[in-house]
């Protein structure tokens, strides 16, 4: 039997692929439902998503489902709202991003001028080149190592040399873009894996290609509908998901994993254990004391204050909105990483779940997901709760001032980094695992096989290749690949 600790995206994907290869799989989830950070809550009869709000790279999930004999488009409906995202800049400048990249460039020309459109076109071409050369060795396959990259030979080295790893993202934006609004828009992609614009490698410019060229999707019925599709697929393959069943120890014997012990004291024998939890929780709590693990204490990614706004329904609300601050955008990163505090004037992100995902709200109001970036919690304990109360007030003030919220709109659910840290042990509330704040971050991220403890595999946003819906799915796929390779089976082929 294979025991999977946690029913987040990575755990479910690993479970599906192992079950599709003929293994018996049991997924043990501490919470009341599957999904991990892709959670839901019901508010006055209306179910809303409380975690990820957008789907990129849907082909990753299609690949997983095809290996189980299904197809993504048969399991969930994908939506492409148009406009996709509305960016609101200081001075009243508004830029709409569309599913068609050419329409986005035309909107850029109309809002910011011909030179801005040329800058964006050139930057997206650069971002596409980075993605082409970086995705295969660093994202879509097993965890990279310096030795593996060197073994690829001169031709591959030339490709790696095109990923712009020697500059920072801020540096490459400064070099290529002069339009202030575009500099802020492109700089924001550093936050997609919770990193510092001034330190993360320019390789992260590829996120601009993923979002603005390949495009973003909504999921009919909400992101949690994707979670439900994964659970259905696993159960159809004979796998089992037990909710309300936390694990407090990985059991070892003879120097390898032999099973798990639940918080209720039940011991389950297993030939392998896939850990869909933060690597720090594995190192500090799940492994027996003094177990060698070599799991690093890395700088955490950013966290976030999130809320659900019960907003009066309006005709002009778009799927996603980003409200930039009046002060220079780089000051947000100074606050987050240098001053270790929430931004003084935070950028605010909104997802209108009716427009984006087709979720239906209340009679006269719609559910709008709201987020502002924050630092992760300190190692020595949570911050004063008054800090989050003040941040919520600042966010609401900014929304009211921008006309994005009516006076009687109200936050009906919220979660601070403190709450996120409590819900997901070991994370300190960080959303994306470790921050990618140096050029070697990809090599330092934990691999999907815990080499010091045979039989333990890692599938989460804190392991290779990182956080975010498709990356967590890829982490689950690579954990399953490692496990099945060790058993002489290999991943099942797509069908």
Q: H or E stretch including 356?
A: helix 353-357
The neighbouring-strand residues paired with 259 are: 251, 269
What pLDDT is recorded for position 393? 97
Grade residue 144 by pLDDT with cuts at 50, 70 and 90. confident
Find out whether the peptide bond into 243 is cis, omega within 30 degrees of 0.
no
Cα–Cα distances in Å, from 108 out to 122, 162, 217, 420?
Answer: 13, 27, 21, 37
**How is the chain split into domains, by residue range?**
2-37+223-298+436-486, 102-213, 302-423
**Mean pLDDT score of the chain, rounded to an integer?**
95
Would you tell me how many other CB atoms lie within 10 Å of the CB of residue 251?
17
Q: In CATH terms, is domain 2-37+223-298+436-486 a member of 3.90.1170.50?
A: no
Grade residue 160 by pLDDT with cuts at 50, 70 and 90. low
What pLDDT is recorded for position 440? 83
Grade residue 159 by pLDDT with cuts at 50, 70 and 90. low
DSSP state letters, 45-77: TEEEE-S---B--HHHHHHHHHHTT--HHHH--
State the Cα–Cα distance between residues 199 and 196, nearest whole angstrom: 5
The single-letter DSSP state of residue 100 is S
Grade residue 287 by pLDDT with cuts at 50, 70 and 90. very high
Cα–Cα distances in Å, from 281 out to 51, 135, 422?
Answer: 20, 28, 12
pLDDT in tens, 15-33: 999 999 999 999 999 999 9
Find out whether the peptide bond into 434 is cis, omega within 30 degrees of 0.
no
Find out whether the peptide bond into 167 is cis, omega within 30 degrees of 0.
no
With 90 as the cut, is the pLDDT of residue 296 above it? no
With 90 as the cut, is the pLDDT of residue 443 above it? no
CB proximity list for 61: less than 8 A, separation 6 or greater: 55, 72, 226, 470, 473
With 70 as the cut, is the pLDDT of residue 323 above it? yes
**Residues in the chain, overall count:** 495
pLDDT in tens, 68-81: 999 999 999 999 99
**φ, ψ at 310 (rounded to 5°):** -85, 95
State the Cα–Cα distance between residues 77 and 219, nearest whole angstrom: 6
What pLDDT is recorded for position 194? 96
**φ, ψ at 203 (rounded to 5°):** -55, -30
Cα–Cα distances in Å, from 323 out to 117, 182, 394, 414?
Answer: 21, 14, 13, 19
What pLDDT is recorded for position 158? 63
pLDDT in tens, 373-420: 999 999 998 999 999 999 999 999 999 999 999 999 999 999 999 999
**φ, ψ at 320 (rounded to 5°):** -130, 140
State the Cα–Cα distance between residues 144 and 186, nearest whole angstrom: 26
State the Cα–Cα distance between residues 126 and 386, nearest whole angstrom: 43
Grade residue 444 by pLDDT with cuts at 50, 70 and 90. confident
């Amino acid at each position: 039997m294979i025991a999977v600790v946690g029913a987040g995206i990575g755990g479910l994907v690993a479970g599906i692929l192992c079950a599709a290869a003929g293994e018996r799989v049991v997924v043990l989830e501490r919470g009341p439902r599957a999904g991990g950070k892709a959670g839901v809550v019901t508010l006055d009869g209306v179910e809303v998503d409380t975690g990820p709000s957008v789907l990129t790279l849907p082909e990753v999930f299609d690949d997983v489902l095809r290996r189980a004999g299904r197809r993504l488009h048969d399991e969930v409906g994908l939506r492409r709202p148009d406009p996709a995202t509305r960016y609101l800049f200081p001075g009243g400048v508004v830029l709409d991003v569309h599913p068609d990249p050419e329409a986005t460039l035309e909107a850029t020309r109309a809002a910011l001028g011909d030179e801005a459109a040329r800058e964006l076109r050139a930057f997206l071409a650069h971002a596409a080149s980075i993605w082409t050369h970086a995705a295969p060795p660093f994202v879509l396959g097993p965890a990279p190592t310096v030795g593996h990259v060197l073994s690829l030979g001169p031709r591959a080295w030339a490709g790696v040399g095109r990923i712009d790893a020697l500059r920072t993202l801020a540096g490459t934006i400064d070099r290529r873009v002069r339009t202030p609004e575009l500099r802020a828009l492109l700089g924001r992609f550093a936050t997609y894996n919770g990193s510092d614009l001034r330190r993360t490698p320019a390789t992260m410019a590829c996120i601009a290609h993923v979002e603005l060229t390949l495009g973003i999707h909504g999921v009919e019925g909400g992101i949690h509908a994707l979670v439900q599709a994964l659970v259905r697929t696993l159960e159809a393959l004979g796998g089992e998901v037990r909710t309300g069943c936390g694990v407090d120890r990985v059991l070892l014997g003879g120097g390898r994993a032999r099973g798990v012990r639940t918080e209720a004291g039940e011991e389950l024998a297993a030939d392998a254990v896939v850990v869909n939890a933060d690597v720090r929780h594995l190192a500090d709590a799940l492994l027996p004391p003094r177990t060698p693990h070599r799991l690093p204490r890395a700088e955490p990614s950013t966290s976030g204050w999130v809320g659900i706004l019960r907003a009066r329904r309006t005709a002009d609300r778009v799927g996603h909105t980003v409200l930039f601050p009046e002060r220079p955008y780089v000051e947000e990163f100074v606050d987050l990483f240098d001053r270790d505090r929430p931004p003084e004037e935070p950028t605010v992100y909104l997802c209108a779940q009716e427009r984006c995902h087709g979720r239906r709200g209340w009679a006269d109001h719609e559910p709008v997901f709201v987020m502002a970036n924050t630092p992760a919690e300190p190692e020595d304990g949570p911050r004063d709760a008054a800090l989050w109360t003040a941040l919520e007030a600042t966010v609401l003030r900014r929304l009211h001032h921008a006309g994005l919220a009516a006076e009687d709109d109200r936050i009906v659910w919220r979660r601070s980094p403190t709450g996120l840290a409590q819900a997901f042990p070991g994370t300190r509330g960080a959303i994306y695992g470790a921050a990618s704040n140096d050029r070697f971050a990809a090599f330092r991220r934990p691999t999907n096989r815990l080499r010091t403890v045979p039989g333990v595999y890692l599938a989460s946003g804190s392991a290779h290749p990182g956080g975010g819906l498709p990356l967590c799915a890829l982490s689950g796929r690579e954990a399953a690949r490692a496990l099945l390779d060790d058993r002489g089976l290999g991943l099942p082929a797509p069908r």
